Structures are given as structure tokens and as C-alpha cells.
Homo-oligomer: A and B are copies of this chain.
């Protein structure tokens, strides 16, 4: 079965405080990067998944996000890319 590299973004829900993002934005300002208006920090997960097709790999990844990878109370996820095969 071909192997796919599935790239997933998991980000804190809009409206929820993102302390890491805020800390990074503050640190960037302190370092003189005045052009930064905002920073949000989430997770970037890359899964190597065996599947019949890119669609199958994506479906698998979606199931994994729903079951484990993202917490629906606080996070949104997006399957950003499926590569290889």
C-alpha cells in the first residue's frame, strides 16, 4: 500500500486566550519586530499513513483528529496537505 504524508494543523479556537501566542508576540516586539500584529500558536502534526489513495489517507487522518488529536472544546483542526503515495 502506498504511504502518504498527511500534514495537520491544530489551532486554539478563536476567542480563547492563546498564552503562548501572546508570549511570542510580546517577545518579538521586545526584540524589535514592530511589524507583528498578532501571533497564534498551534500544533503541526505530520503523520505517515498507509492507504489506498490520498482520499483514504485523508479520511483516516480526519478520524484520528476527531478521536484523539484535537479537543473539540478548545481546538479547530485542518488537514493541510496530503503528499506522496
Binding site for B on A (CB under 8 A): 1, 3, 7, 9-11, 21, 24, 27-28, 31, 33, 35-51, 57, 60, 63-64, 67-69, 80
Contacts and interface: CB of A to CB of B under 8 A. Distances in A.
A51 B35 contact: yes
Contacts of A21: 45
Given A28-B64, A33-B60, A33-B64, A48 B43 contact: no
Most buried by B among A1, A46, A67: A46
Nearest to A20: B43
Given A28-B68, A33-B60, A44 B47 contact: no
Contacts of A36: 47-49, 60, 64
